[in-house]
Each structure stands twice: as C-alpha cells, then as structure tokens.
Amino acid sequence: MNKHPGCKIAMAACSCAMLCASAFVFAADAASSARKIMEDVYRQDTSHDITLKANFQVFDQQGHNSKKEFSLRRIGSPGDSKTLVVFTAPAEIRGVALLSINQRGVSDRQYVYTPATQRVRSVVPQERSASFIGTDFTFEDIGERVLDDFSYRLIGDAEAMDGHKTYKVEATPVDASNSQYKFIYYWVAQDVPVILFAEMYDAQGRKVRVLHATQLKREGGIWGARHTEMRTLQDGTRTVLTIDAVKFNTKLDEKLFTPQGLAGAIGVGAGK
C-alpha cells in the first residue's frame, strides 16, 4: 500500500499544471508566429506608391471567357492606403472606377463611379460580399486587407505547394461584422513572403472560394504573384488575374485618390 497518496496527487496536479502551461505557451507562440508570418507578407512592401496594368479573364461554367483590362494605383503602405482601380476595356465598362480607402482604426471605405450614371456612390457593407464587376473576386477581396483586422493561428508547417514548403495560417476576423468570411486559411511560402493558396469560408463555415497564386516574381525588392486564380465553388466559375506591368514609387498625385476625382480617372487609367 502506498503510504504517501498525497504525494502522488500533488505530483499529478503538478504535471497537469505543467501540461496546461505548456499548451498555453504553445498556443501563444503559435499565434505570435502566425502573426509574424503574415506581417512578413504585408510589410515587405515598403514602397510609397505602386502602379500596375492587369486584366481579369472570367470563365463561366461552360469555360467561355471574357477579358476585362484595368489599371491599379495605390499610395501609402498596406493597411494604411488608398487604392484606385480603373477599367479600360472592354468598351461597356471603360471608365468604371473603384476607390478603396484603408486607415488604421477606421472602417474601410469604398466608392464606385459608373460612367453610364455619371455618379459616385459608396459601397455599403452589404455589398462587400457581392461580385466585383462580374468576376469571382468580391468587393472585399479587391479591397486591401488590414493586418490588424484579423487574428492569426499557425495550423501547420509541413505541407508543400508548387515546390515551396508552406506555413498554414488560419485568419479570423477580429470583428465578424467587418468581413463576409468566418475564417480564411492561408498557405504562405516559407522561402518567400507570398501567399500561394487560400481557402475562404462563409459565415456558416462553408468553403466558398479558393485562391491560387503562381508565377512568383521579385521586383523592386518586393515579392508578388503575377498570376492569381480565384474559383467560386458553388457556381463552378473562375477568374484569372494577370499582372502585365508594375512600377514603384512614381510619385503619384494624392489628389487622384478622392471620390470627387473618380469621374476623370479614366485618363489616369489609360496611362495618359
């Protein structure tokens, strides 16, 4: 018979406490590591402004496709920036413009100009989950994500994708009302700070979209994908975003990035 049952109980309690503490430390480290991984993705871009020419190829369920060409300009740093998207082709959407404004501590704002109505209107929160100009990207997807709007958890670090070992990170909105997504899984390359793959889950926890980024390239010291495909699973459609040209630090005029300036944005988008 054990003459010291109290000793065994104390040792068991001590072991349990150590396991709980270890689990807590692991969870904290995982959250810290995940945050750092995403910081490296967002904060590698130290440019003051960026200009790019790109296009969407939109594929329907039957595989038929249409092409939409646009320019994108951004001033500021990721998470504290203004982004202007202006469509240049085809003719029926030429001049359509979207202005997205991100400021730390302030809800994102978006404004759309449509030449047919010659009006600028705000994008209301309910529209953020709507398709952006008939693509598989939503208004929220097109708007720049703010690092602090999500909390992060490291899920794994052993999966390989497109020849890269990856970190799998779960991103959850800090305020559920600010995102259409309940959570997002990101696969981030371990050797370059780029998101290679993502899965988006709606408010009911259903996987609704997947993103796949390829053709990685470093320009101006900044890594990025030149080819990104977004698929909408329920509809069986997909959109391919291709970046044709990129320029950094061209001293863009901040006056371009206002709701009042959207009506004249096509001159800027056309590269005049």
* CA torsion through residues 159, 161, 166, 172, sign: negative
CA distance 147 to 111: 22
Q: Indicate the domain borders of the chain.
A: 42-269
Q: Supply 188's token pair.
A: 């981030």
State the 10-residue block means of pLDDT for the chain, 272 residues long: 48 42 41 90 91 97 97 88 96 96 83 94 92 96 87 96 97 94 98 97 97 95 95 98 96 92 75 45
What pLDDT is recorded for position 105?
72
Q: How far apart are CA 119 and CA 149, in angstroms?
A: 30
pTM: 0.84
56: β partners = 68, 241
Cβ burial, residue 204 (10 Å; 0-12/13-18/19+): exposed
Beta strand 119-122 pairing with 106-114 = antiparallel
Closest CA to 213 of 246, 249, 189: 189
Residue 104 is predicted with a pLDDT of: 74
- The angle subtended at Cα 100 by Cα 151 and Cα 272, nearest 5°, is 140
Say yes or no: domain 42-269 is CATH 2.50.20.10: yes
pLDDT value at residue 31: 65
Predicted local distance difference test score (pLDDT) of residue 123: 94
Residue 62: DSSP 8-state: T
